[in-house]
Structure 1
Amino acid sequence: MTHTAKMAKWMLAIVIVASTLFPAGVFAANTTAVSLKFTDDNALTLSLDDDATDLTVSTVDGAGNTEDVSDEAKWTSSASTVATVKAGSITPVGTGTTTITAKYGDLSATKKVTVNSPYTALKISPDAAANVTIGQPYTFTATATKTDGSSEDVTSSVTWSTYSAAVATVSLGTVKGIKQGTTTVTARYAGLADTQTIYVRSSFQGLLLTPEEDQVMFIGDTPKQIKAEVADATRVNTDVTSDVKWTSSNAINVTADKGLLTPWVEGTSTIKAEYEDYTKSFKVTVYKTMKKVESSVDSIDLVTGDSATLPKVTGTAVDGTTVDLSKLVEWSAGDGSVASVTSTKVEAESEGKVNLVGTIGDLKVTVPVSVQTKLLVLTPDVTTLSIVVGESSSLPKVEAMTVEGSTIDVSKDIDWTSSSESLLLTGSTAKALLNGKATLKGTYLNKIVKVSVTMEPKIKSITVTPEVVELNIKKSKSIKAVGTYAATGKSVNLSTKMNWVSSNPSVATVKGSSIKAVNLGTATLTGSYQGLTSTVKVNVTAKLKKLTFSEKALKLTVGDAKSVQVVAEYDTGLKVDVTKEASWTSTKANIATVTEGKITALAKGTTTIKVEYGDKKVSTTVNVKEVVPAKQ
């Protein structure tokens, strides 16, 4: 190996060791960034009317060298409402202070930025509370006052808002009323703001729908038009049907295009009509197409002043299903003079006939209504009835008394029913099948009458006691009737079952078995049972109350004669001279005698004259003196 070669190897070894001990750059200049800074350290002041301002940020290395990294840095603003920053370009947004931060790698730099307004005041005009009418735009203007005292129209530049967008909205200063209410409109610009109150009202006083009630429709019906109108102070309604917002809660069921209702499928929907601040809604119920509708009754019979529940109405659909339509029917009864209709009843007004007509959409049902004069009472010709087992009897005759006082024979119109199967009703007769009791119930219009029926063996005779009754006015007496059964000979008390009738009720009346005297005179009571008739004669006489002398006391002289009268007074107030009919006696006939009221004095002394008539007595005293001789 040559010396030169050896030297080259040593040099290479030295280089290798040196590169290991002393890495590259140890002896080079330091170019690594150690800080980040803006062009200057001063805070930045901007005006809102300034254009965007660019900031420059640079890195500084260890040797003090700088490099512009504005485009590479990441920029942020602590208050984007004051100023925004992008790639170092600052744009003022609102008054205030923000901190702009630039970041580059692990380095950052900040700068305080203050944004001032070039204006001192912002004013909305008009400056008084505004009255806004729905449908009529109302315009505000906004004026800003600059620091030099000049003003500027900033209407199109400010940010407009309302406190309640549900009441009113605003765009470029123009307010649009949405619904009645109070809200505020605010303008904001260059850090300034002004607010004004607005009152939103409708120019109309209500939304009217015709018809407005809930609707019933059937699939296949002709569409029905609902008319919408608004009313204002002119008292003239305006048609807004086409302007109203119509919605259906179930458009599958029914649609409402511009108020035109079209039924599609069975179901119920709520139709809503909206116009300005007003909303009206109603329900539409859609039924299947009906083949027929029927009333639960064929006819209705009423009396004046009475009422009946409206009939139930059932509809039969095309598929054979049935549905109760009663609540959907609109009823009418002519002009209402014979019968009137309420929500639940038909009421009788006056005598006559009328058709009760129920309407459901295009369908109708008719029920004849007959109204007769109101009855006060039904009176049967008998209140009890006896029918021999195995035999038949005619049903009782019945009269009806109306409120006008007239009577009507309604025997043929009475609807009779029996409380027992042992009493068979056929046509106008009742037949007793077994022994027992039953009640016949007769119904006519608004009244009911009942007759007790006894079904028993045949009676061969009836004995009545007394056969003659003597009574004073207002007095009563019972009569007894005893029947004898033909088969057994046993007796039965029929006193209250004879259906007694007085020939002269003005003299004597009878109820059950009790007779009551009404007035002077005679009457004959006639009663029957099982076709056997009995009579009782009634004599009604006045009752003697007292006897009265025409003289209270008499003074006579021997040989004198004096006639007196006796008057009988009755409970009727009648007074009768009974002098000749009365019985006269003198307690001392040797002093005075009496004949038919004529008293004859015989001797000195005192006697009592007594009179009897009927069950009454009366007396008077007679003093007899001697004759005084005449003076010579």
Structure 2
Amino acid sequence: MRFRHSKWLSLVFIFILASQSLVAGNAFAADEISKLVLNKNELALQVGDTANLTATAIFVSGSTENATVKTDWNSGTTEVASVYAGVVTAKKEGKAVITATYMGKTEIVNVTVSKKVKSLTTDKRSLELRLNATEQLLITAYYDDGTSENVTSKADYTVDTSSIVTVTNGLVKGQNPGSATVTVKYMNQSLTLPVDVEVVRRIDAESSNVSLLLNGTADIKIMATYPNGDIADVSEKVVWATDKAKVADAIKGKVTGYSVGTANLTATYGTKSTTITVDVDSTLKLELDKQNLLLKKDATGVLKLTATYADGKTEDITDRAEWATSDENIVQVSKGKLSAIAIGEAKIYAKYGDKAVVANVDVEVPRRLVVDTELVSLQTGQEQLLVLHATYADGTSAVVTESAEWSVDDENVAFVTKGKVTTYKAGVATITAKYGGKTTTTKVEVDIPTIIKPSKKAVNLQIGGSEKITLMASFKDGREVDVTNKAEWTTSNKDIAEARGGEIFGLATGAATITVKYGTRTAVIQVSVGVLKSLKVSQEKLTMKKGDSVTLTAEALYTDETKKDVTSDVIWTSSNVKAATVDGGVVKAIASGETTLTAQLDNKTVTIPVQVDMASDLTANVANLVFDLNETRTIVLTATDSSGAPRTVTNDAEWKTSNSAIVLVSKGVVTPVTRGKATITATYGGKSISIPVEIGVVAGLVADKTFIVTKRGDQVQIKLTATLSNGTTKDVTETATWKVNSYKLGTVTNGLFTPTASGKTTITGSFGGKTVAIPVEIDSLKYLKTDVVKVQLTEGSTANVVALATYTDGSEEDVTKPALWTSSNIMIADVKDGVIKATGKGTARITVTYSNMRTTVQVTVTK
């Protein structure tokens, strides 16, 4: 069945292909080609490069077809460039013609193959130019076949900031101050060159603070210091900015003040800037002629504001200042003129520029209010007039009784209006008088006795019993009055006892407090109803061992002298159930520790201290531990009980570590986690002991080398030794952390340093919080010289010069090839790898640079 299904699918597929071929064949047969179009007519390649050509057939009907694969491709010079299915491969330097033919139409592509550029160099690594100055670059291309070529005029140049630098055929010109990067590209290679134009080391203003009068001006000189030490006035060249344009600004070094205030002007030249603070119409101080002013209501007053300037001059600026009041409902102000509106106090503010002063204004505000009496004692229904006096700031006083605002805190006791007090019932009230923002109070006592006394202060009752209490009140006038029925009787617990009209009733067993109040006076009566007198437990304290059990009994003594076993009625609790528990008087010792048992019945409580396996002393077999990672130590703990018997309790104790990130502890076994210090604490039987622990703490770190002088191609091994806190030493070369401060100069792995470039740097090795630094010098030269210092040549001739480097260790090396050779004038003498070629008559200077040192050779060329 599967075979028949597959065969059927194959037949369908063949039928579809045949149909498509028939349709396509009919279309192609009916459509005539108009022309053949290639995507490129010329190619410029380097040896080894490839390029893709595509061919598109355009038919008379207007339809198109990608005929790249169907096209017949041929190369006229296959040793220069070959072609297959439109893919062109450059083989060697030269020219070739690629021919594409399809349906009778032919097109050609001209191919130019050049040598492959291996690298691109420039005679300068960076440039520093002054404004409008120029400097010529020399760009050299090095090819795969070992040849080189001056491609200065052929290279492409781009600048990231064209407003600062422009480049034409390698000629760099400084346009504006700043920094830019020139990118040089030739063939498949490129390089970058940093250029600084008019870059200054710093700019300075001759003065950082300027003071101006309104609309005044001042000239500010800005001096620029260049890297070579030159100093120039750039006041008119800098770009000025201000944070407050309405206050002050600067144009070409001239500062102008526009309004009162302070502004910060910033002068920027190239990448440097400096700031000048400008004060416009700045005053040293402001002064008011009066700091305090006393006015009557509806009266007026005047304040004068004087400004003192930096030159010592003073000026009345009352009309020019900004004036404000803290409360316009009390005092209003306009240009120093005051109007008192209502009684009260206000502050007057005068502001000019960034300074302000304040004056206090008092409008009929009394400094104090006084009532002719501070305490009034009256009987119910009596009246009394209070007189209120106000004293002002100028020392005068007046009676303001009817003008003041009067109030009372309890109108059920007394009432007041315009100082007249009327009493209603016994009690105490407070009369308050308000005037001009000030207040004063007077206390009013109505029928207040000096003392009240109940006939008994304590009453013992049985449930259902009662007792009559008489309450007497003593007054200041000597009266003794029975106020039992007039007083207010209350109880602290209405379920145990209550009082009505002086009669106290016992309701249930317990204690309560009866409070009686008359006026402001109170008295209390303690009431006991069937109250427990005492509670006693069979033992006062317990000393037990883990697993022991003891039974306690409790006995109650009541006020009627009867006794009762209340063991099952008592509430038993333990303050530390981990040490011992108690239930129905049965005490069980659970674990080492201390607890307090409590027996409670009604309001009586008895406590029994309990000790379970408590130690009198706790010791460890070590006072401290010092060891390294990958090791363990065991602490043995010994407890001594009250009888003096010792016992090992290592597994029973509670162990803790002060820092689990450094060390762990379990049943006395100490396991290190990382290097550091921690404290192990063991607790048993109410005692604790602490053991300091140090894990691999490094006291010192020493390298076997203090200074390294080496060369590229060599390797240096450094050994690092750590001294632990216990005095032992350890080679930590491979476990330490190593770093080269300048990664461009070399690498270091496990103390093995491999230099990669010339220069000076520092190698650091770190271990256990300690660090060692070793200075390093790579390819440090003592001398650089050539075998000749002067050369005389005729035009067209050459000379070989050898460069010899002498290192600080005394070794010598021929550096003719790796050194950089440059000519001051390639039109007279050119140089490469020490070979000097005379190109024209005159004198030139050949410079040899290697490892930050240079020397020169003088070349004279004659006809």
Larger radius of gyration: 1
TM over 0.5: no
Q: Which has the higher contact order (CA 8 A, sep 6+)?
A: 1
TM-score by length of 1: 0.28
TM-score by length of 2: 0.22
